Amino acid sequence: MSNLTLAAVWGVCMAMGADALAQEQGREATPAVVNPALRSELRQTMSLDGEWDFAIDPKQQGEKDHWYRPDVPLPDVKSIQVPNTWEAQGVGGAGVSASVTPEQRNRPLRGSYVGTAWYKKRVTIPAQWRGKEI
C-alpha cells in the first residue's frame, strides 16, 4: 500500500471517528481546515510578495470613488512592501503601540495610522491558468 493510500485511509478513519465522537457528544462535527499556505506540486501558486501601491482612506472615499477599479489610480499613493505592516513602514507618522497582554507595555512605532487603507498591485496571470478557478 502506498503512502498516499495509507494517508487517505488514515484520513477516512479519523473523519469517521470524529463524526462518531461528535454524534456521541450531541453536536455537529466540524470539518478540518486545510492550511492553504502549504505548497504542493499539484497546486500552482504565485507569490504576491513585493512592492504594492498603498493609500490610506481616512475619509472613507475609496469605495465611492471606485479606487478598486484597475483604471482608477490611488490618490497620494505610497509604495509599500508586502508582507509587512504599514506601521513598520511609517504610515501615519510616529506613535505608540497599544499594550497587549502579556506584553503590558507600549512600544514606539514608526507609523500609527488606524483606519481604512487600500492596497493595489498589477499582476500577470499565467496563460496556463486560463479557464481555471483562481
Q: Where are the domains of the chain?
A: 1-32, 46-134
Q: Which of 35-44, 60-69, 114-123 has the lowest mean pLDDT?
A: 35-44
User: Mean pLDDT for the chain?
Assistant: 76
pLDDT greater than 50 at residue 3:
no
pLDDT greater than 60 at residue 53:
yes
Evaluate the CA torsion angle 62, 66, 68, 71 in order and state its sign. Answer: negative
> How many residues does the structure list for the chain?
134
Helix (H) or strand (E) holding 95: strand 95-96
Q: Is the pTM of this model over 0.75?
A: no
pLDDT in tens, 70-115: 999 999 999 999 998 888 888 887 666 565 566 666 667 677 788 8
